[in-house]
Amino acid sequence: MSDAPTALLAVNLGTPETPTAGAVRRYLAEFLGDPRVVSIPPLLWKPLLHGLILPLRSGRSAQKYAQVWLPEGSPLAIHTRRLVANIARELPQWQVREAMRYGQPALLPALDALAGDGARRIVVLPLYPQYSTTTTASVEDQVRQWSGRHPGVAVHTVRDYADDPHWVAAVADTIRDHWQRHGRGEVLVFSFHGIPQRLADAGDPYPRRCEASARAIAAALELDESAWRLTYQSRFGRERWLQPYAEPTLWALAEGGAKTLDVVCPGFATDCLETLEEVAMGFAATVAERGAALRYIPCLNDTPAHARALAALAAAHPA
């Protein structure tokens, strides 16, 4: 039993436990089985998912995970664990824990553990700066389910921090630091994870929140409109997703004469497969084929500024 009645649960997306086909298949089954992620009716989607997509994707995805895997494990898991430890130092009177929406440590058992350790007020912080029905709302679904069974615990979910000034300043500082150490590229490209365009058309605020983040960071860096671009990556399937797509935008910039392009991914709290393998490796390779250099600026990860920003966000959340 803890003496701290207030707790913070930081929730990241999740990761396979190992870079193997079996572990990736288990992870993708949970992730792609979430109706918030794929909204196709289950009677149609589940046979396709388990009969075709998982057998085809698991091995290929495992090979990609193996390229970014660290000696200690998954980059996302390592950075999340260290970030949470740093947040705990900023909030010494709180219980501070981590959870994953998919995979381990799982969200619902993490809430159970906090309640069992005496927490009577829990702030849930999804590590998704920009709200989307495909990410934050899925966490909210599980929190709402858990809260209905635990009326004695007050649970509050941080919905969004896309333009939180402390977070914006932290991202801007990492970009400045990168420029000071490596020089500044001709264009700064913001690459956010995409979602299907139909979800935005149906009212998902995600693209507006991504634009709010990009504009706030660009303003903090005092960039004019010509010095930066907003793009979307990680398209899945054949339908139209949010545009402009990141990789073709980078190709056009390179083919237009830009020699050095800086890419930052402020939709990701921590580095992961999408930032390391897709952007820092994959995009960099295809941009190099077009005569330009892509320099990836890492996520905030477990930096002190990131921990301070998120701790302040949690502490400011209304009781």
At 193, which helix (H) or strand (E)?
Answer: strand 187-193
Residue 166 annotated as lining a ligand binding site:
no
CA 97 to chain centroid, in Å, comes to 17
Residue 271 and residue 13 in contact, taking contact as beta carbons nearer than 8 Å: no
Bond into 71 cis (ω within 30)? no
| 152 CB-side CA count, 13 A | 7
Residue 50 annotated as lining a ligand binding site:
no
Tokens of 267: 């939709």
Cα–Cα distance, 122 to 135 (Å, whole number): 19
Bond into 244 cis (ω within 30)? yes
Q: Is the dihedral of CA 72, 10, 213, 168 positive or negative?
A: negative
Alpha helix positions (H), the chain: 21-32, 42-48, 54-68, 75-90, 107-116, 136-149, 165-182, 197-201, 206-220, 246-255, 273, 284-288, 304-315
Binding residues, by number, are: 193, 274
Residues making up the binding site for Fe(2+): 193, 274
